[in-house]
Structure formats: structure tokens, C-alpha cells
Amino acid sequence: MNFRERWVDLLYRVATGTRKSRDLLTPIGALFFGLFTAAFVFFGHILDQTLLLRWPIPGPLSWLISIPIIGAGLAITAWSVIHFLRGKGTPVPFNPPRRLVDSGPYRYVRNPMISGVFLLLFGTGFAVGSLSLVLVFVPLYILVHLWELKNIEEPELVRRLGDDYLEYRRRTPMFFPRVLR
């Protein structure tokens, strides 16, 4: 069994395991996600400083642009978390809801929570004036999550939720809602 398969198996075993193990690993998973996300902001700042990259947009305009982007990211993320909590689970893959959540923002996209985080990071790049964060690290963050979702989380969801998830995946886009139906 390779690393990816072991990770999928671990997520499955914990997600379907005892309440104690899920509750124990949830804060660890949340902390890891937070630190992982913060690292992208940190390294964006470091790269800006190292390469002496200057932010091209004046401060007040940059803030004016960042506020609605960050607000939208917070709103989408919060709305997503609320629907996971209603489903008696958490956003952390170790402690997901027992059943498929396809209400609220999940009606429109399969991963609205991470889409909200993408917006938060992008808006943060404008707020702190980080060219590297906006042009390098947010796109890299998106690619890393795309790989992780496709290769780890989705196989675990198929294993745990079966045909319900396969049908949901078939009809629901990953990150961006369909404009035309």
C-alpha cells in the first residue's frame, strides 16, 4: 500500500471509528490546516522581502479591494462550517458528518469551505500588499488542495458514502458554481 492509499485508509478508519478517536484528532487536524495555510502567507511575505517585490496598488485602494474579498471568503467559509455542524460533523476530515451534506453552499459546489479559504488568502494578499501571495502562493495553495481533494479526500468519501457521493460528485462542481445549467 502506497502513502496515498494509507492516508485514505487512515481517514476512513478514523472517520468511521470511535467518537473518542474522532474527537481527539479533530483539533490536531484543524491546527495542521491552520498552520499549513498560515505558512503560505508567511512564505509569501518572505519571498516578497527576499526578492524586494513591491506591491503595485496604493494602500487605501488595496484595502478597498481586500475587504469585500475577505468578507466573501469569511461568509462562505462560515456558511459551510454551519452546514457541517448541522450534519453533526466538523470540517476536519477526521470527524466529518456521517451523511452527505448537500445543503446550503454544498448545493452549488462540493468544496465551498476551501473556496472560501482561497478567497480569504487572496484577499489577505491584497490587504498586506503581498505580490508573492497573490501571484504565487495562492495559486500554489489551490493546486495543492486540488491534488489533495482528488487523491485523498474524494477516494475516502467514495469509500465511506458510496453511490450517494458519486452521484453528488457527478452533478456538483468542485469549487465554482455553474453559471449556466
Name the phi and psi angles at 104, rounded to 5: 60, -135
Residue with cell 454544498: 106
pTM: predicted TM-score of the whole model, two decimal places: 0.92
pLDDT in tens, the chain (181 residues): 799 999 999 999 999 999 999 999 999 999 999 999 999 999 999 999 999 999 999 989 999 999 999 999 999 999 999 999 998 888 888 899 989 999 999 999 999 999 999 999 999 999 999 999 999 999 999 999 999 999 999 999 999 999 999 999 999 999 888 875 5
**Alpha helices (runs of H) in 52-162, residue ranges in sequence order:** 59-86, 112-128, 131-132, 138-148, 154-161
Can you tell me the distance from the alpha carbon of 129 to that of 65, in angstroms, rounded to the nearest whole number?
11
Residue with cell 460533523: 89
Can you tell me the distance from the alpha carbon of 156 to that of 137, in angstroms, rounded to the nearest whole number?
27
Q: Per the structure block, which three cell numbers stand in for 161?
A: 458514502
118-141 pLDDT per residue, tens? 999 999 999 999 999 999 999 999
The domains of the chain, with CATH numbers, are: 3-171 (1.20.120.1630)
